[in-house]
Structure 1
Amino acid sequence: MIQEWLNLVLNVVVMLLAIALMTLAVRLHSNSAFAGAALYSLLSFGENLAGIVLFWTSLETSLGAIARIKMFNDTVKPEDRDGESIIPPEHWPQRGVVELKGVSATYSSEYHEGSTSRLALHNIHLTINSGEKVAICGRTGSGKSSFIALLLKLLDPTSTTAENVVIDGQLLQHLNRSELRQRIIAVPQETVFLPDGSTFQANLDVSEEATCEECEAVLTAVGLWEFVQERGGLDAGMNASTFSAGQRQLMSLGRALIRRSIRQRKHATGAEHGGILLLDEVSSSVDQETERVMQQTIKTEFKNYTVITVAHRLDMIMDFDKVVVMDTGKIVEIGSPAVLAQEAGSKFGDLVRARNQ
């Protein structure tokens, strides 16, 4: 609307100038050739004015972009910290044991030791054993996603509790962040795809380490192989908009299966290889049938993995080994979901009853 208004104003200005020019030319009996040349130049004056304004605006936008890049470079600190140079063994984490011994964490850069008002996680004591299936529950803002972010070093613990997180015998504080995120398999709540036109295989196997047979087996496991075949197969270009919400999450789960398959192939020792799988509300936007497929796939394909999931639908986790209920960044209850759901006065039972109402 502003652009159209600018064009209108410039055209009105040119029109008034043209009227004034012709009036003066007639009254002063000026040379018709000069008057015609002046009128022709005046008619293009409006376009020149609009071009000058647009070029000026573009210049301001470009200078603003340069200023933002400079500010980003000056103010944003690198993610890596001193002392994070340890690269664990290639088969790590094989057991998938997670130990948190009084861990606190905050997103605020203005946090001061001793203050609890800015803590996203407060004094977390939790041990997750090898192969255990654990669900993290709680209301919005209770610290569930912050717990997952802590294990991926997307959220740093406070300085006094930095050495209180141990994964398979390795201090989380000293692990290289990039290596950590390659070793732990995580499935996010929102699936991100490569630009439109990328192949199905490239979106499924981002690291380009899996074979076509592995990709086909994974797509079959999550129920997407027929869908991909109908659109030209693994080497066909894809558009993310063609996927439903459930298919997006199944594709994200397929990526996790590909990573598990690659790890298993690289470190085959004759026995099933374990690890850690993190799930952040993966069933929040899917229907019940898709949720059932995901639940069965996780149970079958990741049976030897330690699974830590942020649960949105509580019926999906009733057969888990343990449920951890959080509130305002604290753990308020731990136990078997089937038992806690039946206990009067339990926090988890209150959540189950509130969901069913």
Structure 2
Amino acid sequence: MIFRWFESLIDAFKDPVDTMPPKAVGRFYLFYLRQVWPVFAAAIVLGFGVAIVEVSLFGFVGRIVDMAKGVPGKDFFAIHGRELLWMGFVALALRPLFIGAHDMLVNQAIVPSLTNRIRWQNHRYVIRQSLGFFQNDYAGRIANRIMQTGASLRESAAQIVDAIWYVAIYYGSAVVMFAHADWWLAMPLVVWLFGYVGTLYFFIPRTRKRSWAASEARSKLMGRIVDGYSNVLTLKLFSHTSREEDYVADAMAEQTDKLRSMTRLTTAMDISITTLNGFLIVGTSALAVWLWSQGRVTVGAIALSTGLVIRINNMSGWIMWVVNGIFENIGTVQDGITSIAQPRAVQDKEGAMPLEVVAGAIQLEDIHFHYGKQGGVISGLNLAVRPGEKIGLVGPSGAGKSTLVNVLLRLYDLEDGHIRIDGTDIAQVTQESLRSQIGVVTQDTSLLHRSVRDNLLYGRPDATEAQLNEAIRKARADEFIPGLIDGEGRRGLDAHVGERGVKLSGGQRQRIAIARVLLKDAPILVLDEATSALDSEVEAAIQESLELLMEDKTVIAIAHRLSTIARMDRLVVMDKGRVVETGTHAQLITHGGLYARLWQRQTGGFVAADDALA
């Protein structure tokens, strides 16, 4: 019960204000630690208590030696019984209480919940990044940075709290107790402190810089490994296993060199601190014995000072590793910030409202978009699609067809112009609502590495079993789904499809994609080369499903295989980012322009316009 209470102190899935995390390291830490400040404040107070209790135990040792020296054994407990009981209470009750409460806060509340809150909030921010963000980086590196940043931020923050108290309490108490016995006894400790701080001052900033470089190299290595695993079919098809090994080995060698560079500093710092500690132990012990020989301190002072400096020696090594770990973790957090704290290229406007589609009219007004390049991809394009109209986009590669679809879905923001759906500018509505009103079937159908059911319900999570089965039937996916079985024995709708759907054929993936969009039943439909990757027999089978899919919808279809869209209400021919022709298949053939030339090139003149329409 008590474990659960501590575990409930931090909600790992609390949603933050949806803003970009700060880029500065200090503010990045505060951004997350502010959310749990009461728990951290309690950990600081308990850490203070633990440090006080630990130091008091050394004071008890010296006190017991002095008490035993001045009193006959038979009277010892009678004279000092109460003081001994207090010492026992501190050791047997207060110490476990403080340490137990501190460990509960750290291990039950902070370690699992804060770590995963940071990961969750970073993931929520990053998953809403634009398409371009993910196209410009390794998916593995992004995921690695999100996972590592949460753990490193939590670890370094907790270590800083513990380290500060232990240093302050141990050193402060030691100086006071040594000076109380004889101020000369505190001198080796004061000299040691200057040397210790100077050593850390020299090594720590350099360790932090090299730690950041090592973390960056580790993320790069992870990205290359995941990239190879994700594209393992390409690797095998081209017989490039050795080339891929060299590609990963290059990143691994870089990461090893960066790590060695960091560990050299760590080893040098360890040797320096160990040498300083040797002078502290020898200097303090020798001075304590000499002062005792002069009658200036008691035997208890020798026991106290020797025991405490040995403890400080152990603690200083621990502090060195903690401080080194803190800056190593800060370096990891800095590496993570490079991916996490990036502005979103596509954002909802303040006060954006959900899009409501009644008719499905689409108006593109003088739109411009260039992917940040010099020269045009889409330049001054105008196009109007009537409600329920089915148009085919035609043109040579690079004409801007897929780019038009990308800006219609607002995967990228226009540089100029407007796109309106039923008169509403899509830049003024929420992205989620816009995309919920548009169904998309693409050439490269990517399925999630989950069950067939999960992939289908992406179209409509609240769909009933009857609606799900109806969509499967219309897409003619009922011909193969019942026979599916995965490596763990799951069957039918429960069978997992593998990463990106690799366990299914191209035709099977496409039918699931069509069923998913049928289930979504959005009023606007985009078909982007939906059948170009399929053979003619499979394409013919799927064409019937596409006809059902297009019923009562506004449709924009892209196809290089012109015979698949010849029956559309209207064909729009694009070239160099502009509309150059528009009309029916027969009209464009008669016109003798770009479309007619593309048709002639594909058919060799053997397929007449009437045959294509038939």
* TM-score, length-scaled by structure 2: 0.42
| Shift of residue 83, structure 1, vs aligned partner | 4.2
Q: Which secondary structure state, in structure 2, belongs to the residue aligned with residue 234 of structure 1?
A: helix
Q: Distance in 2 between matches of 1:156 and 1:189?
A: 23
Letter in 1 for 2:504: F
**Percent identity, aligned pairs only?**
27
2:492 to 233, 237, 243: 233
| Shift of residue 298, structure 1, vs aligned partner | 2.5
Residues 290/84 of structure 1: CA separation in 2 closer, same or farther (3 Å cut): farther
Q: Distance in 1 between matches of 2:590 and 2:333?
A: 60
Q: Distance in 2 between matches of 1:68 and 1:338?
A: 59
| Shift of residue 200, structure 1, vs aligned partner | 1.5
- Give the count of matched residue pairs: 272
Correspondence for 1:343: 591
| Shift of residue 252, structure 1, vs aligned partner | 0.9
Correspondence for 2:603: 356
Correspondence for 1:105: 369
Q: Is the 8 A contact 2:348 2:428 kept in 1?
A: no
Residues 157/209 of structure 1: CA separation in 2 closer, same or farther (3 Å cut): same
1:80 to 334, 342, 347: 347
Residues 308/62 of structure 1: CA separation in 2 closer, same or farther (3 Å cut): farther
Report Cα offsets for 1:197-246 as digits up to 9, x if no partner: x3221111124221222222222222221311112332344443331112
Q: Distance in 1 between matches of 2:447 and 2:371?
A: 27
Q: Distance in 2 between matches of 1:286 and 1:141?
A: 22
Q: Which secondary structure state, in structure 2, belongs to the residue aligned with residue 332 of structure 1?
A: strand
Q: Which has the higher strand share?
A: 1
Correspondence for 1:144: 401
Alignment of 1:242-281 (within 5 A): 242-260=503-521, 275-281=523-529
Which structure 2 segments of 5+ residues have no match? 1-244, 254-327, 485-490, 605-614
Structure with greater contact order relative to length (CA < 8 Å, sep ≥ 6): 1
Residues 210/66 of structure 1: CA separation in 2 closer, same or farther (3 Å cut): same
Correspondence for 2:431: 177
1:131 to 368, 388, 400: 388
| Shift of residue 320, structure 1, vs aligned partner | 0.5
Q: Distance in 1 between matches of 2:331 and 2:603?
A: 51
Q: Distance in 2 between matches of 1:247 and 1:94?
A: 33
| Shift of residue 253, structure 1, vs aligned partner | 1.1
Q: Distance in 2 between matches of 1:156 and 1:125?
A: 16
Q: Is the 8 A contact 1:281 1:310 kept in 2?
A: yes
Residues 157/79 of structure 1: CA separation in 2 closer, same or farther (3 Å cut): closer
Correspondence for 2:558: 310
| Shift of residue 122, structure 1, vs aligned partner | 0.9
Alignment of 1:182-197 (within 5 A): 182-195=436-449
Deviates more, 1:312-321 or 1:293-302: 293-302
Q: Distance in 2 between matches of 1:102 and 1:78?
A: 21
Residues 170/314 of structure 1: CA separation in 2 closer, same or farther (3 Å cut): same
Q: Distance in 2 between matches of 1:63 and 1:325?
A: 54
Q: Distance in 2 between matches of 1:289 and 1:218?
A: 21
Q: Which secondary structure state, in structure 2, belongs to the residue aligned with residue 216 of structure 1?
A: helix
Residues 144/64 of structure 1: CA separation in 2 closer, same or farther (3 Å cut): farther
Q: Which has the higher helix share?
A: 2
Correspondence for 1:158: 415
Q: Distance in 2 between matches of 1:142 and 1:63?
A: 47
Alignment of 1:33-48 (within 5 A): none
Report Cα offsets for 1:260-290 as digits up to 9, x if no partner: 1xx6xxxxxxxxxxx1101111111011222
Residues 283/226 of structure 1: CA separation in 2 closer, same or farther (3 Å cut): closer
| Shift of residue 305, structure 1, vs aligned partner | 0.2
Q: Is the 8 A contact 1:106 1:156 kept in 2?
A: no
Letter in 1 for 2:362: V
Measured on the aligned residues, the alpha-carbon RMSD in Å equals 2.5
Q: Distance in 2 between matches of 1:238 and 1:249?
A: 13
Q: Which secondary structure state, in structure 1, belongs to the residue aligned with residue 589 of structure 2?
A: helix
Letter in 2 for 1:331: V
| Shift of residue 76, structure 1, vs aligned partner | 4.2
* TM-score, length-scaled by structure 1: 0.70
Residues 65/132 of structure 1: CA separation in 2 closer, same or farther (3 Å cut): farther
| Shift of residue 73, structure 1, vs aligned partner | 3.0
Q: Distance in 2 between matches of 1:301 and 1:74?
A: 41
Q: Distance in 1 between matches of 2:359 and 2:466?
A: 28
Correspondence for 1:210: 463
Q: Which secondary structure state, in structure 1, belongs to the residue aligned with residue 530 of structure 2?
A: coil
Q: Is the 8 A contact 2:532 2:560 kept in 1?
A: yes
Q: Distance in 2 between matches of 1:134 and 1:63?
A: 54
Q: Distance in 2 between matches of 1:289 and 1:221?
A: 18
| Shift of residue 95, structure 1, vs aligned partner | 1.1
Q: Which secondary structure state, in structure 2, belongs to the residue aligned with residue 282 of structure 1?
A: coil
2:540 to 292, 300, 306: 292
Larger Rg: 2
1:96 to 360, 366, 373: 360
Q: Is the 8 A contact 2:348 2:430 kept in 1?
A: no
Report Cα offsets for 1:131-152 as digits up to 9, x if no partner: 1110111111110001101110
| Shift of residue 106, structure 1, vs aligned partner | 2.4
Q: Which secondary structure state, in structure 2, belongs to the residue aligned with residue 190 of structure 1?
A: coil
Report Cα offsets for 1:102-138 as digits up to 9, x if no partner: 1212211xx7xxxxx4332111111100111101111
Q: Distance in 1 between matches of 2:329 and 2:391?
A: 50
Q: Is the 8 A contact 2:448 2:497 kept in 1?
A: no
Q: Which secondary structure state, in structure 2, belongs to the residue aligned with residue 209 of structure 1?
A: coil
Letter in 1 for 2:368: S
Q: Distance in 1 between matches of 2:375 and 2:342?
A: 22
Residues 302/62 of structure 1: CA separation in 2 closer, same or farther (3 Å cut): farther
Residues 145/199 of structure 1: CA separation in 2 closer, same or farther (3 Å cut): same
